[in-house]
Structure 1
Amino acid sequence: MYTTHTAPWSDPYNERDSQYIFVSYTLSFPVISFVFHTSFWFIIAIVDASARSIKKTAKFDINQARSHEVDVTLDVDTAHPKLKIHGNSLQWTNESPQRKIEVENCFDEEPFVLGKMGSPLKTYWEVNVKEKDDWVLGVAKVTANRKGPLAFSPTNGFWVIRLSNGQRLKAMEDEEHVLDKGIPDKVGIYLDYQERKVTFFNAEEDSLIYSFINGPSYQDDVLPLFSPWNNDAKPITILPITAT
């Protein structure tokens, strides 16, 4: 007695299964495409919303910083002898020394002066540097070196940005960091001891220039630092507190 075997590929159930799989795939493909397409644009929308949120946050940050604005004055006892100080403006002069040198406190070689202010946990001030091709702004530890050539870096107690030749804006980290930013006419400096950050803003455009995230602690005791540099007589000026 012979038994007849049907090849699996001729099994009617297998054929129906194959047809079912084909039809299911055919029907599913548009659905999968739709889901993928929708998900893609949904992700794009989220990214775009996040970008807008970041921009809003950046603008809010400077407004928040301005709420901590303080009155900063120049400490003439720390000034290089050839810095001419009038009120809250300072400029370089090639004339004879402008004052008696306080040997212990002053910068004796490079054209700098420290500022004086209160000591809250958060402080903000603005400086007009319009039409200046060279300047240095930021903060320095009270104990930072003031004699001879200065080495700007957080390690040495300086958190500053520097403009050179009217075109190279740099953050003076332990390694210089060239900033791909427009040259500001007005700079806002925000010192936040709690977050240990020193942040610089373009105060006219309300935009971020740079933020040191390795800033000083409250125990470090830092002060504002200013320099109009020594290649022209144009002044830089600490701006008065903005009325709110």
Structure 2
Amino acid sequence: MIKLFTVTLAAIGYEKFAWKGVIELLRTGMFIIGIYYCRKIDNKLGDLQKKIDKGEQDKYKIKQEKDNTAQEKDNIALEKEQLKKENEQLKKENEQFKKEIERKKAQFKSDWRKEEFQTVNLTLDAATAHPALFLSEEGRRVTWQEPCQELPSCPERFVSIPCVLGQLHVSSERYFWEVEVQDAHSWDLGVCRNNVARKGRVTVSPQNGFWAIRLYDGEYWSLTSPETSLTLKEKLCRVGVFVDYKAGDVSFYNMTDGSHIYTFSKQAFYGGLRPLFRLWSSDSGPLTIVQVD
């Protein structure tokens, strides 16, 4: 190829054209071509580096966005937790507010009932007391005593169930009294007809002339037939018994907060009614009638 090129040059008048010149010419061409391709490669490398740099910048931006998103999530989580706490606090305050309103409403109702009902300084009737029951000298407290006392037999005395009656005979009007039950663990409180059975098998229920509530084994009951379980907000410390003879109502109130416990309504009363107190065992604790000024 190169020889043909040399012959051609000689034919057109370049007889003295030598191989050395051709080689130099070729070297020059190759050098120029090399420079061209080197520049082209440099340009491509430069473009590639720019792309790499841009990719690194994009990665950094994405990382920053991820970090910002994570921080925003943490902030949202903190805000949610704070809102949850605030909501719980508001709920507690709302519940307390409701309880206070209910307490005041109940207290108002209880106070109103006190004004409508006649207060009595009640004492216990020793002639009705079961032999296991011991009465205080002033006749306002009853406790369990073992062994049983030797007491004279009389028709008024309870023999089968450990009860004692109050001296009050209710046959009209409205009456109420209060009883301290804080240290007592099992008891019955209410009213009964004066002529209820004292001997034999006796069931405390309205059908047998008893209207009472009970605390037994930590649970409160209304002595209906069958018995009705009572759900109270707190342990009873002082119980108010309200008797409206004409209306046929016997109501029980928690006198600590004025809340209503239970009402026997529209009962068929006849004859006299007596306050009823019952203890269950030696660990029942005392029942104390509250003296009213």
How high is the TM-score relative to the length of structure 1?
0.71
* Superposed CA offset, 1:95-122 (max 9, x none): 24153232x1111021100111254510
* Partner amino acid, structure 2, of 1:71: N
- Alignment-derived partner of residue 160 in structure 2: 109
Counterparts of 1:58-207 in structure 2, within 5 Å, are: 58-67=106-115, 68-86=118-136, 87-97=139-149, 99-102=151-154, 104-117=155-168, 119=170, 120-165=172-217, 167-181=218-232, 182-207=234-259
Alignment partners' CA distance in 2, 1:125 and 1:94:
28
Are the structure 2 counterparts of residues 157 and 184 from structure 1 closer, same or farther at C-alpha, using a change threshold of 3 Å?
same
**Secondary structure at 1:63's aligned position in 2?**
helix
Alignment partners' CA distance in 1, 2:261 and 2:140:
23
Question: Alpha-carbon deviation of 1:69?
Answer: 1.3
* Superposed CA offset, 1:4-44 (max 9, x none): xxxxxxxxxxxxxxxxxxxxxxxxxxxxxxxxxxxxxxxxx
Question: Alpha-carbon deviation of 1:81?
Answer: 1.1
Alignment partners' CA distance in 1, 2:205 and 2:146:
28
Larger Rg: 2
RMSD, aligned CA: 2.2
Alignment partners' CA distance in 1, 2:289 and 2:102:
29
Q: How many residues align?
A: 189
**Secondary structure at 1:155's aligned position in 2?**
helix
* Superposed CA offset, 1:143-174 (max 9, x none): 11111332111111000000001x21000112
* Superposed CA offset, 1:126-147 (max 9, x none): 0011121100000000111111
Counterparts of 1:199-238 in structure 2, within 5 Å, are: 199-217=251-269, 219-232=270-283, 234-238=285-289
Q: Percent identity?
A: 32
Judge conservation of contact 2:185–2:215 (CA < 8 Å) in 1: yes
Unaligned runs of 5+ in 2: 1-99
Alignment partners' CA distance in 1, 2:107 and 2:289:
22
* Partner amino acid, structure 2, of 1:81: P
Alignment partners' CA distance in 1, 2:289 and 2:104:
27
**Secondary structure at 1:220's aligned position in 2?**
coil
Alignment partners' CA distance in 2, 1:76 and 1:121:
25
Counterparts of 1:22-41 in structure 2, within 5 Å, are: none
Q: Greater share of strand residues, 1 or 2? A: 1
Alignment partners' CA distance in 2, 1:170 and 1:140:
17
* Partner amino acid, structure 2, of 1:136: D
**Secondary structure at 1:66's aligned position in 2?**
helix
Bigger mean CA deviation after superposition, 87-96 or 137-146: 87-96
Bigger mean CA deviation after superposition, 56-65 or 156-165: 56-65
Alignment partners' CA distance in 1, 2:123 and 2:289:
8
**Secondary structure at 2:127's aligned position in 1?**
helix
Unaligned runs of 5+ in 1: 1-51
